[in-house]
Each structure stands twice: as C-alpha cells, then as structure tokens.
Amino acid sequence: MRESEPGYDRLTGRVFASRSEVIASHAMAATSQPLATQIALDILKSGGHAVDAAIAANAALGLMEPTGSGVGGDLFAIIWDAAEEELVGLNASGRAPALMTLEYFEKHGIDAVPKYGALPVSVPGAVDGWFKLHDRYGRLTMQELLAPAVTYARNGFPLSELIASEMQHCAGILREYPGFSDTYLRDGRAPGKGEMFRNPRLANTLETIAAGGRDAFYKGKIARQIDTYMRDQNGLLRYEDLAAHTSEWVTPVSTNYRGWDICELPPNGQGIAALQILNILEGFDIRSMGFGSAEYIHALVEAKKLAYEDRAHYYADTSFAEVPVDVLVSKSYAGIRRELIAADMAALTYPAGDAKLENGDTVYMTVADDDGNMVSLIQSNYCGMGSGMTPGDLGFVLQNRANLFSLDSNHANVVAPGKRPFHTIIPAFIMKDGKPFISFGVMGGSMQPQGHAQIVINMLDFGMNLQEAGDAARVNHQGSSQPTGEVMIDGGIVHLETGISEKTREALEAMGHTLGPSDGSFGGYQAIMRDWDQGVYYGASEVRKDGQAAGY
C-alpha cells in the first residue's frame, strides 16, 4: 500500500498499526512480558547466546505469566545455528505416563480424558528442553540464566492487567485442587492489577534446578514430590515416567509460499496445518481479493477447514503412528484439496484427504543475538494454568496436555503409555534465499496455524511490515474436527476481529458462514526479522497482549 492510497497514515503506515517496528543493530528480543524481554536483553549484553536469553526469559515468564507457561508444561523451539548455518528443531513435549492406557479409561467408564484434575497430566518437558538447548548452545551457566526469575520470584513484581484478569479466571476453576491456593492466591483471592506477586516456592525450585541440573527435576527431590502428590490425587504420573523422559531433536518441515520457505515442526504438533493452509491458498490470487474482503476470508476459512480435517485424522506422535507428512505438505495434494472449495458457498463438512498411507493458553518468544543466532520458542501449560495439580511446595502447576488424547482405539492420536499427545503449540521460522529471515509465532490453541498463515499472507500478499502484519484484524474459525474425536458440525463458527467491515460480514453470512462474536481468541504474536542488506534486526510485538520487542 502506498502513502497516497486509502488506509495509509503518513506517520505509522497502516492506520491500524499500533506502533512502528523496533529496529536494532546487535540483538533483539520479543516476549509477551516487558520484564521478560528486559531479562533476555540483559543476558545478551552479558555475552549470552540467543538460546541463553530465551531460557532466561522463559523461566521468568513461568513466574510472570503462569496463565500460559511454567516448568510444569512443554516446550518446542526452532533455532537458526549461525555457526553451522542450519535450522534445527527441538520437540520438548512430554509423554503419557506408563499407567495411562486406553484400558484404564474404559475400565473406569471414562469416554474422554478430563480437562482438569489428576488424569490429564502428562510428563512436563520444558525443563529438559531448557537443558537440551543449553547443552548444545549455552554460553552462560544455568545459575546465571535462572537467577533473574529467582530474584523476581522472591522479591515480587507487579501483575499486569491482562495476567491479573486471567489468574482470576483460572482461580475460579482451579482453586479446589490441593496446593493451588497456597501457591497462587492471597487470602483466598487472586492478586489484582498492579499488586506485587511473589512465588518463593518457585524460587526454591528454580534454584534446585540451577544447582542440580535437569536430573534434579526428573530424578531428584522434585520428581519424588511430584510422584507423592500425584499418588495422593489418584493420578497416573509416577517418578519412573519423569526419570525416563527425554526431548528430541527434529528436522523442521517446510513449504515454499510465493518465494518464502515457511518452516514448522513435524507432528505431534499442529505446525504443518499452517503449511497445508498456505499451499491451498497459493492457488488463489489473494492480493487481488484485498485484505478484509469476504472473498479472501472465505478462501482462508475453507482452506483452514480442509487442513484441520487432516489434522484431526492424521496428526499424532510419529513414534506411534505413520503420519504422511511429505504428502500432506505437498503442492499436488494441496491442489486436490483446493478443488473442494466452492467460490461462493461455505462447506458444512469436509472429509479428511486420502493421504495414502481450542482452549490453549501459551507464551511465545523470539530472540536474536549479535552472531546471527535466532530462536523461535513456544511454551505452555495447555489450558490456562494447566491441570490444577500443584504439587507440594514446588510453586508450579502441572500441565493437562493429555486432555488432547483420543479414546477411540482406531484413532492415530489414541492414548498409549509413553506416547506424546497431539500438541497445539508451534514455533515458526521463515527462510528466504537460503538465509534466516523471520522467527515468529502466534500463541493461542487452535488459532496458531491460522495465525501463522495470516501473518505470512499479510506480509507477502498484502505488503504489510512486520508490526502491521500482527496488528491487522484476524480471523479465527472454530469448530473444526478435533484430534480427540469431535467432528465439525454445520461448518463451525467464524470469529472476525473488529476492523472487518459490516459489508464483509454480511457477504460471508450470505455465503453460509456462521459468524460469532468478535471477542474470540485471536492469539498473541511476536516476531523478529533479519535485514541482511542493512545488517539490522526488526522486532514486532503483540498489541493484544502485554508484549514488548526491544533490542540494542
């Protein structure tokens, strides 16, 4: 869009842009909490690797944004290793306990893994992920990296308005579970906006991890306390499950969209759904449709529906199921799926393709250092603060990720001991001309692949800059078939953020789309872009969250 065109502001670019991009020559960090961003910058200025800064920021976010992250959750990352000139992926998601069998649920008459309580708890993988990353790339000690989070946990920090509100919501659901109130509530209530929040229990846990390494968490006193607590709560997680856990280095999967290589991690995550959406949409002249038009949103929603039917049918732990990744992300397969989209009519159902063979809260961050290393990292407890299981005096909640297992014996994502459940959290990376270009993510449950696709389209098809691409009004289609077995009914619901015109809304309804309120979950975005010509980094952060991009 040129300055003379409608919708362009001469000061900031697009009229909807909340701020300009941040630009710095040496390093950049973007997280969902300003204090965490500052911690990342401090680590970088101390000579830390981008991975060091990401670990330190992630530890702080587990304290400052417990509604979306913590040591009781899982982690995924994509790293550009400047020295080796390679893109590397890490799957640090935990597995089902040995006692978590399909027969267990059948015996107890349970037809779906519950969302809260002891049963949906899988092994927390984040801490092992930190140490896998640190062992390969770290320059500073883990004591140095965890020290800022420990200090804030002991001395306190003021809660932001958004996190205070989310903690109050979570408290209404989880206060009944032993340990939760003692850790997170004050006189029976969640702390409010601007109140100093302290978590000395978490400080002690982080100090134990820093001193004793990953084994202190998975084989030491922490693991014993988790085992005792879970037995008391009639849960399935045991010491042996924690002791057996390990993360996995993986190779990212990519597709080329109009000259950019969009990279995601393979299943058990949902990242390749973004690639499927983009492959389908590449066959349309998106630019001529225009941003915010009914024609574009219709194509986007229908492409999402198609990709998510495959997601529901095929995506699972590749150690247990044969997932046809190469076929699913191929251009030829996308062409076949694209033919199912009617130009002027919303589909009520779609079949999964023949490939031949919503509830999540998350934190996303990205860091880039002076040597050119870039990290795209995402971490989550799953539903808000997780399962509610808050063991002993450890200061954190265990995740409820096993809620996403299917209990259908014929499903690829059926529960099994040692199996990783289907995962919603996905980091993303873009390569251009063989060089690292953009690390980014859009946190928020099933919104994430939709959000990734929209960020890429906003930049490539609609010419937005890094910040504008995140600020632009988003679309969130909900109600697709799920990897747990639920099937899309009557086409699902399309949520349109404010900024989409009434004319577009009316046109979409005329096509048969059911529109929901504008207060749906539209995700949270952070991004860093490398400008090779100028030798600088650009940073962008989410206007819908408390995020900050900053550099030096």
Helices assigned H by DSSP within 213-250: 214-218, 221-232, 239-243
DSSP class of 59: H
Whether residue 62 contacts residue 202, with contact meaning beta carbons closer than 8 Å, is answered with yes
What's the gap between Cα 18 and its chain centre? Answer: 23
Q: Give the DSSP H/E element, type plus range, for residue 154.
A: helix 142-155
Spatial CB neighbours of 478, under 8 Å, sequence gap ≥ 6: 358, 446, 492, 493, 495, 516, 520
Whether the CA torsion 524, 73, 215, 264 is positive or negative: it is negative
Q: In what order do the strands lie in the sheet with 86-92?
A: 248-250, 86-92, 74-81, 374-382, 361-368, 28-31, 548-551
Q: Give Dmax (Cα) for the chain.
A: 68
Question: What dihedral do alpha carbons 504, 508, 511, 512 form, nearest 10°?
Answer: -160
Spatial CB neighbours of 300, under 8 Å, sequence gap ≥ 6: 277, 281, 450, 453, 454, 457, 475
Whether residue 44 contacts residue 29, with contact meaning beta carbons closer than 8 Å, is answered with yes
Measured CA to CA, the distance from residue 341 to residue 257 in angstroms comes to: 19
> Could you say which of 205, 362, 390, 484 is catalytic?
362
362 is catalytic: yes
Q: Tokens representing 19?
A: 């701020």
Measured CA to CA, the distance from residue 56 to residue 33 in angstroms comes to: 13
- Integer angstrom CA distances of residue 494 from 64, 329, 439: 32, 25, 28
- Integer angstrom CA distances of residue 546 from 156, 162, 363, 402: 18, 7, 11, 29
Q: Which of 244, 255, 300, 309 is nearest to 96 (CA)?
A: 244
Q: State the catalytic residues.
A: 362
